[in-house]
Every structure is written in C-alpha cells, then in structure tokens.
Structure 1
Amino acid sequence: MKQKVWLITGVSKGLGREIAKQVACTGDIVIGTVRNEKDKVAFENSIDAKALIIDLAETEQIPTLITSIVKEHGRIDVLVNNAGFGAFGMIEEFDKEEIINQFNVNFIAVWKLCQAVLPYMRDNGHGTIVQISSRTGIMAGIGNGIYASSKFALEGMSEALKQEVEPFGIKVMLAELGALRTDFFGASIRYAKNNLSPYAEKLDDIRTNTKKLNGKQSGNPIKVAQVIIEAVNNDVPTFRLPLTAGTIDTMKAKIAEFQNCIALTENIARSIDY
C-alpha cells in the first residue's frame, strides 16, 4: 500500500506527539510542526519523522509551510489540525489581545492550513482533514467561554467544510476530545491576566480547579491516537468522532437541553412564520 503523507501540527508533546509516534510506526511519512529548535531536536531524536519550526499564530507563514512539504513529498494525504491551547477565565476577565491570540491559534491557523492544503488534495482527488476539537465545542461552561468559542467556531467551519469538499473526494473529521491525560491543564493552559474578585466569591475558582485536574484526566491519549488513525485509514466512517465518556455525556446533555427548548418553544417558533 502506498505510504500516506501526514502533516500533524503541535507534535512537541501531548496528543500530537502520540499520533505522530503511532503513524510513524506504521511506515507512513510524518511531518510535524513545533515552535522551536529544542522541540524539533527532541521530536526527531525520538520519532522517525521530521519536524518543521513554525509559530502557527503567524498565519502568513502557513502557505510556505504547505508548499515546502508538497515540493518535497509530492502531496499531503492527511492534515491533523492538533496544535492549540486553552485560555481559561471568566469572559469579563479577558482583554482583546488574549482573545485574538486564542482565535489565531485555535481557529484562524486551522482555517489557513485547510485553505493552503485543499488545492493539492483537490488536484489529487483525495485527502483527509482531522480537526482536533473538544467537548467544549459542544457545550461551554463556567470559565472556558473563550476557549469554547474558538472550538465552536472550529465546529461551524468544519460542518460547512465537510459538505464543500466531499465532491472532490476529501473527507473531514471532527475528533471531539474530552479531558485527556496530557499537559493541557499544565504547560498548555493560559489564564486571563485579570482575576476579578466578584466571580471568586460566587463561583469556584477556575484556576484552582483546572490545576487540580492536571495529571488526573481520565482520557487515554494513546488510545485516542489509535482510534483517530484507524478512522483515517478506514476512510473516516463518521464526521464526528466522540472520544472519552465525558464527550458522550456532554453530547447527551446538549441533546436534552435542545429537546427541552423545543418542547417549551416549538409552538411559539412555528407561529412566527407567514
């Protein structure tokens, strides 16, 4: 079978690194992205794969990245948009620059990567784009509103993108992650610079709660990587791929919320139409 060429963003640690490791073991070609030389050396010394240095928040660099990979390997078969981080805090606590940075990495960079890779996938008549989303992209909660907003945006874009690229043989999959035992709540988490005391008086402290979760998350990143790779290699049988029990529970809660809303408002809603 012909080797696939995978581009996986954010491979210095966590799920991205695990996906890269497992894909490389299958014999496929892996190109990962990292943010600095230290991470590049560590990645290439431990995995039979190549890492390219890029700050994805600098989105103008992305077309050059894609062009260089295609020039060397002829194609990109699988794009895994994994790189990202979580900005946590109450909505009121964030400043504009913090929100822009969250969206630049979690949404704008993903859009730009898709935009840059799609012409090559379209010319080849095939390709798979894996969007690493989150259960917070299904239902937001206290303290994760800005992070959830970036994932809600990713979900909306991906729903449309799936339908737009299917005629060209290109598949899109949303991997809906729950809490994985990575350093997401360690080195990869950022908090709003402002910390307003009225919220601390009324609600649990999001900073304390997330730190308590670090290293105790129930989701196994090794198993998640296995399932994602299997889904890709079996032509992505489903658009949404819920991963962890927490994601299923979130989906069920969202469905129940919608069902309750429909029950209470359907007659009113239908009465509005001419």
Structure 2
Amino acid sequence: MKQKVWLITGVSKGLGREIAKQAAETGDIVIGTVRREKDKTEFENSINAKAFVIDLTDTKQIPSLVNSIAKQYGTIDVLVNNAGFGLFGMIEEFKEDEIIDQFNVNFISVWKLCKSVLPYMREKRQGTIVQLSSRVGIAAGIGNGIYAASKFAIEGMSEALKLEVEPFGIKVLLVEPGALRTDFFGASVKYAENELAVYTERLNNVRENTKSINGRQPGDPMKAAEAIISAVNTGNPVFRLPLTSGTIETLKTKITEFQSCIEVSEAIAKSIDY
C-alpha cells in the first residue's frame, strides 16, 4: 500500500492523538497540529511524527501551514479535521463572543483547512478529507445547542463538499462519534460563562451532568481510530461513519422522528405546490 501523508489537527490528546499514533505505526507520514510548544515536543518524542504549533482560530496561518507541508512532502493525502471543543449551556445563557469562538474553532477553521488542501488533492486527483462531526450533529439536546449547531454546520458543509469533489477523485468521510473516553468532558470542555438558575431549577444541570460523564464514556478511542483509518485505507465504503452504539440509537430516533413528520405533514406539504 502506498505511503500516505496525513495532516491531523488536534493531536495533543484524545482521538486525534490516537489516529496519529496508529497511522504512524502503519508507516505513513503523519503531521499533526497542536496549540502549545510543550505539546509539540511531547508528541514528537512519543510518536514517529511531526507537529506544528498553530492556533487554528487564526485562519490566516492555515494556507502557509498547508503549503509548507505539501511542499516538503509533495502532497497531502489525508486531512483529518479533528480539532475542536465542546461548549455547553442553555441557548439563552451564551454571549455572542462565546458562540463566535465555538464556530471559529469547530467550523471556520475546518472550512479553511479544506479550502487550503483541496488544490493539492485536486492536482493529484486523489485524497480523503475526514470530517469529525458528532452524535449531536445528528440530533441536538438540552444544553448542547451551540456545540450541536457547529456540528450541524459541519454536516451540511460535508454533504455538499462530497458532491463537489467526487469528480476530482477526492473522497469525504463524515465521522459521527458518540461519547468516547477522552478528555472531551474533562479539561477540554467549556461552559457558558453566564448560568441562569431558572433553567437548573427546571431541567437537569448540564454542567454537573457532563462532568459526571468524564472517564465513564462507553466509546473506546482506540477502536474509533482503527475504524477511521480502516475506512480511509479501504476507500471510504460509506460517506457517514457512525461510531458507538449511542450514535446508532440517535440515528434510529431521528429516522423515526422524520418518518412521523412525513406521515403527519405530507399531504399539507404537497398542497403548497402549484
């Protein structure tokens, strides 16, 4: 199998780190991104791979990063848009700058990375873009509306991107993990600064609930990384890659909800047409 060049964002820990580790172990060339110099040193000392320090919210840096990698290695075969974080709280609790920060990291930087990598993939008429969505990119719930919105945006962009790049031999893999046992609900999680007591009095406390999940998530990040790498290496047999039983249950619930909507509303929907 031809040696691939991987660019993986957010490799200091969690799923991104595991994908990088396993891809490097197969003999592929792995380049990761981290936010701090000490994370770069630790990553490069423990994995046969290279890391760049970059703040992905500063999207002006992204094209030069991609250009330097492509120039050094000749191409980028696989882009894994893994970097991101979860921001939780009730919709009413958020300030505008908190939402902008969530979308800058989880969506705008992903778009800019895709935009920067595509010319190189198109020139080679091959490549794979792996988009990390989430179970909540399928269905949102109480307290995760803003995070879910950023992942809904990834889903919409990825659906269109798949159709746009297929004629050039480029594939898109949309990964939808459930709760993996990573640091997502530990040091990585963020909450709305403002907390309205009226919600905690009526609904479950999203802050306490998410903290209680940390370290008890049912999903194995090692197995998730294996599944992603296998999908890439076998040519993406599916566009969507749901990971964990929780994601499958969410898909089933969503399908049932859509089917009920069709049954109730089909006649009136069709009556609107000329």
Corresponding position of 2:112: 112
Q: Percent identity?
A: 72
Residue aligned with 2:102, SS: helix
User: Residue 124 of structure 2 aligns to which amino acid in structure 1?
Assistant: N
1:118-139 deviation per Cα after TM superposition (whole angstroms, max 9, x unaligned): 0000000100000011010000
Where in structure 1 are there 5+ consecutive unaligned residues?
none
Matched, 1:189 2:179: no
1:142-169 deviation per Cα after TM superposition (whole angstroms, max 9, x unaligned): 0000000000000000000000000000
Structure 1 runs, 4 residues or longer, greater than 3 Å off: none
Corresponding position of 2:7: 7
Residue aligned with 1:143, SS: coil
Residue aligned with 1:6, SS: strand
Pairing of 1:135-146 with structure 2 (within 5 A): 135-146=135-146
Corresponding position of 2:90: 90
Pairing of 1:141-156 with structure 2 (within 5 A): 141-156=141-156
Residues in 2 aligned to 1:133 and 1:273: alpha-carbon distance in whole angstroms: 34
TM, length-normalised to structure 1: 0.99
TM, length-normalised to structure 2: 0.99
Matched, 1:66 2:53: no
Shift in Å, 1:249: 0.2
Corresponding position of 1:29: 29
1:213-243 deviation per Cα after TM superposition (whole angstroms, max 9, x unaligned): 0000000000000000000000101000000
User: Residue 7 of structure 1 aligns to which amino acid in structure 2?
Assistant: L
Residues in 1 aligned to 2:107 and 2:120: alpha-carbon distance in whole angstroms: 21
Aligned residues, how many? 274
Residue aligned with 1:40, SS: helix
Residues in 2 aligned to 1:256 and 1:194: alpha-carbon distance in whole angstroms: 35
Corresponding position of 1:175: 175
Corresponding position of 2:204: 204
Shift in Å, 1:2: 2.4
Corresponding position of 1:164: 164
Where in structure 2 are there 5+ consecutive unaligned residues?
none
Shift in Å, 1:187: 1.1
Residues in 2 aligned to 1:258 and 1:201: alpha-carbon distance in whole angstroms: 31
